[in-house]
Amino acid sequence: MPHGSSPALAPEAPAIDTSALPLDFAEFSSLASQSFVPLRVRSDDPDAFRGDIRASVGDDVHLSVVTATGHEIHRTPELVARSEHRSFKLGLQLSGTGLLIQDSREAVLRPGDLTIYDTDSPYTLVFEETFSTLVLMVPHRLLELPTDAVQGMTAARIAGGQGSAASSHASSPSSPATSTSWAAPSAEDSPATRSTS
């Protein structure tokens, strides 16, 4: 990962065959912002990067499965300020290991673990190795919960053996119903500024 990145994460995770993943680094970077909110994606080795995002959208609720080789995702203060979309994301780690940093909290995520993060606040996701994660993105306005209360739960790990996380992992699909592809410019490290979410 880039110099100065977060400490190494636990390496033990199921192997993923990335040979069939269709997106290179530039395509994945643009599609990540198209599928979610504007993001900055970084990779130590963009030439070897491979990734895929499979998504299903209905009533402004986005369900996606992301599979990729190692990289970092940054939702910077500048990107937050330019975005009109305010959503919570519920992430379920399917394989590999990830690190979520938001609101001065950190959560190391292993298969079966759940976490919540807020697109209306800067965050960083670090994936040092190949991984797969399921992401449910819900607009703030659709939740029947106080926004402040949910924001207080961001970057908190819900372990896979605890109730809802375990049942969600057991019942989650390998991928949503539809797969999206996107041809992007070849910039290696630039934030995409358009979003469909």
SS3 content of the chain, % helix, strand, coil (to 5): 15, 35, 50
Tell me the per-residue pLDDT of 46-99, one tens digit each, with 9 for 90 and over. Answer: 999 999 999 888 888 999 999 999 999 999 999 999 988 899 999 999 999 999
Which residues are CB-neighbours of 144 under 8 A, at least 6 positions away? none
Range 7-12 average pLDDT? 41
**Longest Cα–Cα distance in the chain:** 44
pLDDT at residue 69, rounded to an integer: 96
Cα distance between residue 6 and residue 49, in whole Å: 20
Query: Which residues in 33-68 are b (16+ Cβ under 10 Å) and which e?
Result: bbbbbbbbbbbeebeebbbbbbbbbeeeebbbbbbb
SS3 150: helix
Q: Where are the beta strands (DSSP E) in the chain?
A: 40-42, 51-58, 61-68, 71-75, 87-95, 98-102, 105-109, 114-118, 123-127, 131-139
Query: Domains of the chain, with CATH numbers?
Result: 25-171 (2.60.120.10)
Tell me the per-residue pLDDT of 12-40, one tens digit each, with 9 for 90 and over. Answer: 444 555 557 789 999 999 999 988 999 99
Cα distance between residue 187 and residue 128, in whole Å: 21
Percent of the chain with pLDDT over 90: 57
Closest CA to 14 of 79, 96, 118, 85: 96
Tell me the per-residue pLDDT of 156-167, one tens digit each, with 9 for 90 and over. Answer: 999 976 544 444
Tokens of 76: 């910077």
